[in-house]
Amino acid sequence: MIGVLLVTIVVIPNTTVRGLCAAFLSGPLAWSALQLARRGRGVLVEGERCTVQICAPRRNLNFAVSDIQGWSINNRDQLQIAFMQSRKTVAGDEPRPSQLRYVISAALDDPAALSAALPASCPFSPEQMRTLAGMRRVRRALLWGAGLFVGIPLAVVITWRVAAAVWSVIKIS
């Protein structure tokens, strides 16, 4: 699909069709970039430390295995893990309580080996892990909805205001 759209952009002389093809091309290119970013990312359990490699921002979450509150492997072979993350404090401040974090990893190559490396008993039940996953889905749906129904119209209004201001300056000159 990417090749067909690239050939269409090069061959077709109409700039409108070229723009539409470039817009359609952005979706498959973004998907391909995400798949490349996910490659080689996963979960490492080394002794008493656990590292979850997050693919999009390319960062690592390090925490102790003893901080794990619950974990499960979903039907996509992704690790869903809840752990307590200690908060940083500035010198002289009172220590703050730990914060519960919930993370989903990229798809794992060998989920059975990881299951053996993680603790067998955790404070959270599978039902609580499903509740955390549901809360995450709802939060992400709300953020997407806010971006779609508030962010995009706001961006259009601001763009038109700026374009009108620039047009009035050009018209006056």
List the one residue out of 41, 35, 33, 52 whose CA is nearest residue 109: 41
* Amino acid making up residue 17: V
Torsion of CA 109, 115, 119, 124, to 10 degrees: 100
Q: How confident is the model at residue 173 (pLDDT cuts 50, 70, 90)?
A: low
Average pLDDT over residues 38-49: 83
d(CA 156, CA 38): 33
Flag the least confident range among 53-57, 79-83, 120-124, 142-146: 53-57
Average pLDDT over residues 57-69: 87
**43-46/49-54 β-pairing:** antiparallel
Q: What is the pLDDT of residue 96?
A: 83
Strand positions, DSSP E, 86-151: 99-107
Flag the least confident range among 34-43, 49-58, 114-123, 163-172: 34-43
The pTM of this model reads: 0.68
Q: What is the pLDDT of residue 140?
A: 93
Strand positions, DSSP E, the chain: 43-46, 49-54, 59-64, 68-73, 78-85, 99-107
pLDDT tens digits, residue range 130-145? 899 999 999 999 999 9
Task: List phi, psi (to 5°) of 44.
Answer: -120, 130
d(CA 115, CA 77): 11
Flag the least confident range among 26-30, 129-133, 164-168: 26-30
